[in-house]
Structure 1
Amino acid sequence: MVSVGSKALPSRATRIHNLTNINSMGEHEYESYNQGSSSKKGMRRKPKKGSAGFHSDDSNKTVANVQDNRTFEYESYSADQGSRIRKQVDPETSKYFSEIANLFESDEVEFEERLLICGNALEETKGKEFEIATDYILSHTLETILQGCDADHLCGFLQSCANDFPYIAMDRSGSHVAEAALKSLAAHLQDEEVRPLVEETLTTICKVIGANSVDVMCNCHGSHVLRSLLCLCKGVQPQNSGYYFSKSTTVLAERLNLKEIPSKKDDGTNFQSGFPDLLKLLVSEMLKHGRKWIKTLQVDQFSSLVFQTTLRVLAGNDEEVLHVIPILLGCKDKHIDEGSFIDTKVAPELLNLLNETEFSHLMEVVLEVSPEVLFSELFTKIFRNSLLELSSYQRGNFVVQALISHTSSQQLLELIWEELGPHIEELFKMGRPGVVAALIAASERLHVNEHKCCQVLAGTVCSVDESPKWIVPRLLFLDSYFASEDKSNWSWRSGAKMNVMGSLILQAIFRFKSEYIQPFITSIISMEAAHVLEAVKDAKGSHVFEAFLSSGASGKHKFRLVKKLQTHFGEVALSSSGAFTIEKCFNACNLSLREAIVSELAAVGNELSRTKQGYYLLRRLDVEGYAASPDHWRSKQASKESTYKDFYATFGSSNTKSTKNDGFLADNSNTKSNPQNVKEMRKEIDQSLTSAAPFLSMHGMNKNPKEAKQKHKRNAQVGAEDDNSSKKKKKSKKEKNESGHDDKKSSKKRHRDGKVSEASLKKLKA
């Protein structure tokens, strides 16, 4: 007999007796969770004031009127399709599901018994799936049942409610049930024996959803379900479907080459459990039923998200992508002939839509996944000779950034540079530094106009007759500088906010070859010591200095900058991002300045050890070892430097061997011939030379110092726990025997307190 917790049923019963009030509360609670869901119902969209891109206000009104007409036409069509009205769930079914919920909340149901209960419950739902799945209270229990049942009952449930599945997916409660069912299906894919059954069920669901795809994709709840279904057909777990929607910071890092991000185009080998034929069927049905309304679907928030997911799951399949993208852009079949994909007549309208939020997001994904032949045609027919104007718009400028970032042809980048390169100052004045940053990153990535790019940028913020020392400060305070009326008298204002894009631009600049960035090197090493200190204590400024210390600048130039922080190393290390900067300084210095850094860190060691990164820094630089024996610390550092010299003499490039390093070996950019091997070799050298002092090991890098201190205490308790374990086992056996004697009494008491009766339990297990 399964016992039930004493507080579960009364609270659940109270909620069921007040169904009307609960549903109204549920509506409010759910809408607060789905922010703004009530603002977009069906396809209704209010024309945005002054929002249409490149033409006059009259043409914008015309476009808005056309969109309103399409919206009205679609709503008339949607009304003709009819809608489902949910019936009230009968009290007996409600009671049955509440008893199941109480059983599961008790956490005393065995796995086999849980499977049996879930299977029986799904049998009871036949003919009532829609009503139960869309009930605010019972839907929660149904989610739990679907996640705990076996594949046979799960597929039986989905096939039984297949005709109602689109309506379930579009309901505020039912959508969660639908997604729970899809996640459960994905979990069963690991069992090859049930895979045919799962595929058969998915085929049925895809056909029904495909036939109702326009309604589903334009619904705020249905859109989520359809995206999960697309991911499942691709072979991605629905709960991991966020893989296809990168964070804005990740997108920015990718566009500016700040870190390597794996391409989504060639991920086909990672999705072995997908259903490519089903994916093709679902996409085909979506396009078949949505093509008539494509002009409206392009600017709808939820359908745009569905189209973005569609393109990303198809990325790498060039044949499918080349078929889908022209349809999403509104091109007709007769224009999609061999060698041409984009209808020239559609291009002006597409350009006009690029300032619409939803369509601009869609176009960014189009540019991301387009094969090179289509990418070139998009540039030629839509973007060429309009880049500067498009960059001036609030949303259109992000499309330009995507175009620049995904350009893989030097020839295309040359054409983009001709349009935007001479207008960098104008782009800054318009408040579009992101376009400039993307252009600089692409120039460095494709090695196009690198020297010219650096010259134009330096000339934009510093005239020929001015000292180059102002280049870096003005880029750090980009907003402040371009907002200044008298730019020639602009000065560093202590405490002012540094600019994010200015910082990112400087980080990109310091990845160029040293011969191209001499004005920027001169500027940063000419900064006053107070300004250097203020900059490295700021997160944005510290990233710039780290980029400089990793650049191709000479060791002497790096030494000059680091020297300005002397007597302030401890202060910098205690700042939020200072630990990383201090480590870069340490690697760029000679032995005497390294000792100065470590001695200053030792002075603030207690405070530094209480911070996460500070604790790592103390271990990394062996500050404790220095405090214990400075001579021994110096000898280890000298041995490491000597080993580095031998290594670079043997494995370094010809440029490296001919360079006078003067002890600045750790970050010499001329050794970029094989940076990964160099990095690995440095790690091996560090480990071999410091075997007695494992501070260079990365183990424990992310450990909290408090946890390290508590570790000894926990280890000391292990022995005592082991000694008492045998006594505890004997005691627990004795308690079990005694508790078994009182089972009958306790079950009667639970029954009197309003718990699940024995008859109910028999029904659940029957």
Structure 2
Amino acid sequence: MGEDKFAHKSGRKRNGMSRKAEQGGHGFDGSNTHKNTFWMMDGGTLNSNKKFSNNKSTSTPQTSLIRKQVDPETTKYFTEISNLFESDEVDFEERSIICGNALEEAVGKEFELATDYIISHTMQSLLEGCKVDDLCNFLYGCANQFPSIAMDRSGSHVAETAIKSLSMHLQDEDVHGLVEDTLTAICKEIVANPLDVMCNCHGSHVLRSLLHLCKGVRPESSEFHTRKSSTVLAERLNVKAPRYNGDGEFHTGRGFPEILKFLVSGLLKGARKNARILQVDQYSSLVIQTILKLLVGQDDELRHIIPILLGCSEKDVVEGNYVQISVVPDVVDLMKETAFSHLMEVILEVAPENLFNELVTKVFQKSLFELSSHPCGNFAVQALISHIRSKDQMELVWSEIGTKVRDLLEMGKSGVVASLIATSQRLQTHEQKCCEALVRAVCSTDESPRCIVPRILFLDRYFSCEDKVKWNFPCGVKIPVMGSLILQAVFRYQTELIQPFITSLTSMEDNHILEVAKDSSGARVIEALLNSDASAKLKRRLVMKLRGHFGELAMQSSGSFTVEKCYDASNMSLREAIVSELVVVKSDLSKTKQGPHLLRKLDVEGFASRPDQWRSRQASRESAYKEFHDTFGSDKSKSLKTGGFLADSSKQKSHPKDVKTMRQEIEHFTTSGVPFLSMSGNMGKSEKGKHSDKKYTRASTDNDISETKTKSSKRKRNKDQSKNAAAGKRKQKI
């Protein structure tokens, strides 16, 4: 990557876009942006209000870099290019040439141009539209200033754009070496003084992008820098399957493993000398979190890095003893800091099993309730509970906070309780204890269980009420998400464990049930009960409370899902009542986003035009569902009492794909008037029937081939026996 890399550009200037043609030109002389002669770059400033920032040993070096004013001639040149691009008069090929010429003119002025508030936008356009060799030449030329560019408010966007453009060539083998050399030059400059970039708000973001690029992940990939808190929470509460696995679906190219190793090693050198800064600074914490996630699956590396991040001495870290007891009090205190609390969440997510076990028994044991009560520490406890891997670990956690469920709810730490419930369900342990503790937390022994669900839905309002006995359901108030999530987790338990919760919800006042159904968070609770193992009779009791309001609910995007669940859980008469209400609002419902699907699923048009045929089709489907479950259902499902349309069919969770396929087939054949499981004579009348015929034909062909082989084998054996008999006779004659 020497001067030869620039030699090929000498004959490339075209279209009059060389700055040499603009001698004597004037730029933004009157612009306020360019009146200041010098700009000062400040990097590596730490948050002064951090708990540990007063320690003199943790002060970070600050670097200052003077940026000269962009000369008017250069300003005018890049302004003309910007105006040309905005005119949309340049085709793709010509644009690439212009970008290359402009980037050549930027040689030696990369820092000034990239950090200029106005010209930086033009630089981004150039880096997006240039060829890969021009891009690499630009980055290689400003590699020694790349950290300063990355730490600038405007320059960071230019650096991000360059990294994003490089990521587009991850799968291009022809330029892999060129990109690798460029990244090597940049990373060498960063690791020379990594703390400044890591602790800078702009530099931290650029650095995370660079780490992902080295790993082989494009910026467009889902959850590129970090996942939303709502996504993490959904995964922890078993509402959503984990998507981030570090070494799997996010990879779109081969990456640069050696450069990544070099960059990570250089960045973590600061962790040894300035561990305190990296532990409490929010921007460096984000960088380290990214590193840990990118190293998922590399257990040896994680077992080496994590103890250092906890403050352990590297020489004292040995296999089987990764966390020294001496650092435990300090780590517990650090988890009460915002940045380190987030970092600990990721550590718990990625830690190898033996290291995770030490974190549980050495760091968290005997401190669980203390941390659970803290505004920051409780998030680390939530992460710990969500990732525990054995029943013994669950028993340890339960012994410290299982009896403090009410205390945690009173303090507003409902996330810890929700994580506890979800993990007990995942590990199938302590389910009954969790249910009993939750009931005791909101309902005394002399109170009716009907108050349980309303109080959980409005946890904060209930526990902040001075006279809890007189507390009533607050109509017209939005339901908080956490109470809804707790109840959704509870209704995934077995029916015999959650009878108080089922009784409470099904015995609520009709107007309160309607309030819950109209709220997006509350509707999920009703749907959770309708999806649970509760009996069909109890489900229908809940559905009955919403009669007269299905049209109103269907008009809401969240309520339409509730209407569909109510329909699936109903018998014939209730289904007819639901569809009758939708007929009234059919015209308005069809104009909504969710309306067409609901109208089609419930066949509202068919009911409105031919109600008798609609009832006949519904009866056929009910009969088909029953026949299917009688034939293929488990012994448990056969013994269950089923209501209309097998309202409890949702219990058969062991074969969800089979049930879904069965439903689709029944929908098809009942619509066409062909009885399910009695259609072998009419299979050719539909596309599915044709596929089925092919299957039968293939099976019969296989049988014919098998029979043919058997007959051929028999003929061969008979022929061999005849030959042997004839040979024996010849021997006897001889």
Q: TM-score interval w.r.t. the shorter chain?
A: 0.7 to 0.9
Paired with 2:400 and 2:97, the residues of 1 have a C-alpha distance of 68
TM-score of the superposed pair, with normalisation by structure 1:
0.81
The aligned amino acid for 1:18 is G
Q: Which residue of 1 aligns with 2:101?
A: 120
1:37-62: CA deviations, max 9, x gaps? Answer: x9x973433336xxxxxxxxxxxxxx
Structure 1 position 320 matched with structure 2 position 301? yes
The aligned amino acid for 2:344 is M
Paired with 2:35 and 2:450, the residues of 1 have a C-alpha distance of 66
Question: Secondary structure of the residue that 1:240 maps to in structure 2?
Answer: coil
Q: Which residue of 1 aligns with 2:389?
A: 408
Q: For this pair of structures, how many residues does the alignment match?
A: 651
Check the 8 A contact 2:331/2:363 in 1, yes or no: yes
Q: Which residue of 1 aligns with 2:257?
A: 276
Residue among 433, 437, 442 paired with 2:418: 437
Question: Secondary structure of the residue that 2:46 maps to in structure 1?
Answer: coil
Check the 8 A contact 1:133/1:174 in 2, yes or no: yes
Q: Which residue of 2 aligns with 1:238?
A: 219
Paired with 2:34 and 2:672, the residues of 1 have a C-alpha distance of 65
Deviation at 1:633, TM superposition (A): 0.8
Q: Which residue of 2 aligns with 1:69?
A: 55
Paired with 2:524 and 2:480, the residues of 1 have a C-alpha distance of 12
Deviation at 1:268, TM superposition (A): 7.1
Question: Secondary structure of the residue that 2:32 maps to in structure 1?
Answer: helix
The aligned amino acid for 1:67 is S
Superposition pairs of residues 468-483 of structure 1, within 5 angstroms: 468-483=449-464
Check the 8 A contact 1:23/1:136 in 2, yes or no: no
The aligned amino acid for 1:69 is N
Q: 1:332 to 1:43 in 2, by over 3 A?
A: farther
RMSD: 2.4
Question: Secondary structure of the residue that 2:597 maps to in structure 1?
Answer: helix
Question: Secondary structure of the residue that 1:189 maps to in structure 2?
Answer: coil
Check the 8 A contact 1:235/1:271 in 2, yes or no: yes
Q: Which residue of 2 aligns with 1:701?
A: none
Q: 1:149 to 1:41 in 2, by over 3 A?
A: closer
Deviation at 1:290, TM superposition (A): 4.1
Q: 1:41 to 1:420 in 2, by over 3 A?
A: farther
The aligned amino acid for 1:45 is N
Residue among 15, 38, 47 paired with 1:45: 47
1:345-402: CA deviations, max 9, x gaps? Answer: 1111111011111111111111111111111111111111111111111111111111
Residue among 574, 593, 597 paired with 2:578: 597
Structure 1 position 507 matched with structure 2 position 488? yes
Deviation at 1:178, TM superposition (A): 1.2
Check the 8 A contact 1:216/1:226 in 2, yes or no: yes
Paired with 1:105 and 1:263, the residues of 2 have a C-alpha distance of 39
The aligned amino acid for 2:55 is N
Q: Which residue of 1 aligns with 2:332?
A: 351
Q: Which residue of 2 aligns with 1:363?
A: 344
Q: 1:272 to 1:103 in 2, by over 3 A?
A: closer
Superposition pairs of residues 355-754 of structure 1, within 5 angstroms: 355-690=336-671
The aligned amino acid for 1:68 is N
1:392-443: CA deviations, max 9, x gaps? Answer: 1111111111111111222111111111111111111111111111100110
Deviation at 1:662, TM superposition (A): 2.6
Q: 1:456 to 1:23 in 2, by over 3 A?
A: farther
Q: 1:552 to 1:236 in 2, by over 3 A?
A: same
Question: Secondary structure of the residue that 2:501 maps to in structure 1?
Answer: helix
Residue among 30, 34, 45 paired with 1:18: 30
Deviation at 1:3, TM superposition (A): 12
Deviation at 1:212, TM superposition (A): 2.2
Paired with 2:631 and 2:233, the residues of 1 have a C-alpha distance of 38
Question: Secondary structure of the residue that 2:88 maps to in structure 1?
Answer: coil
| 582-591 or 561-570, which deviates more | 561-570
1:2-57: CA deviations, max 9, x gaps? Answer: 799xxxxxxxx998223434688xx9xxxxxxxxxx9x973433336xxxxxxxxx
Q: 1:637 to 1:135 in 2, by over 3 A?
A: same
Q: Looking at CA atoms only, which structure, 1 or 2, has the larger radius of gyration?
A: 2
Q: 1:15 to 1:329 in 2, by over 3 A?
A: farther
Q: Which residue of 2 aligns with 1:98?
A: 79
Check the 8 A contact 1:299/1:356 in 2, yes or no: yes
Deviation at 1:521, TM superposition (A): 1.3
Structure 1 position 131 matched with structure 2 position 112? yes
Paired with 2:338 and 2:600, the residues of 1 have a C-alpha distance of 48
Superposition pairs of residues 69-218 of structure 1, within 5 angstroms: 69-70=55-56, 74-75=59-60, 78-79=61-62, 82-218=63-199
Paired with 2:479 and 2:115, the residues of 1 have a C-alpha distance of 51
Paired with 2:653 and 2:367, the residues of 1 have a C-alpha distance of 38
Question: Secondary structure of the residue that 1:243 maps to in structure 2?
Answer: coil
Check the 8 A contact 2:271/2:309 in 1, yes or no: no
Q: 1:408 to 1:680 in 2, by over 3 A?
A: farther
Paired with 2:43 and 2:500, the residues of 1 have a C-alpha distance of 56
Check the 8 A contact 2:442/2:456 in 1, yes or no: yes
Paired with 1:337 and 1:494, the residues of 2 have a C-alpha distance of 59
Question: Secondary structure of the residue that 2:191 maps to in structure 1?
Answer: helix
Question: Secondary structure of the residue that 1:46 maps to in structure 2?
Answer: coil
Runs of 4+ in 1 over 4 A off after TM superposition: 1-4
Superposition pairs of residues 251-330 of structure 1, within 5 angstroms: 251-267=232-248, 270-330=251-311
Question: Secondary structure of the residue that 2:240 maps to in structure 1?
Answer: coil
Q: 1:684 to 1:100 in 2, by over 3 A?
A: same
Paired with 1:239 and 1:558, the residues of 2 have a C-alpha distance of 44
1:214-237: CA deviations, max 9, x gaps? Answer: 111111111111111000011111
Deviation at 1:643, TM superposition (A): 1.4
Paired with 2:139 and 2:391, the residues of 1 have a C-alpha distance of 51
Question: Unaligned stretches of 5+ in structure 2?
Answer: 1-13, 18-24, 675-734
TM-score of the superposed pair, with normalisation by structure 2:
0.84
Deviation at 1:266, TM superposition (A): 4.5
Q: Which residue of 2 aligns with 1:58?
A: none
1:740-765: CA deviations, max 9, x gaps? Answer: xxxxxxxxxxxxxxxxxxxxxxxxxx
Q: 1:690 to 1:266 in 2, by over 3 A?
A: farther
1:431-468: CA deviations, max 9, x gaps? Answer: 11111111001101110111121122112222222221
Deviation at 1:614, TM superposition (A): 2.8
The aligned amino acid for 2:48 is K
Question: Secondary structure of the residue that 2:59 maps to in structure 1?
Answer: helix
Question: Secondary structure of the residue that 1:298 maps to in structure 2?
Answer: helix
Q: 1:102 to 1:670 in 2, by over 3 A?
A: closer
Paired with 1:526 and 1:219, the residues of 2 have a C-alpha distance of 56
Paired with 1:345 and 1:443, the residues of 2 have a C-alpha distance of 32
The aligned amino acid for 2:458 is F
Q: 1:131 to 1:584 in 2, by over 3 A?
A: same
Percent identity between matched residues is 58
Q: 1:201 to 1:353 in 2, by over 3 A?
A: same
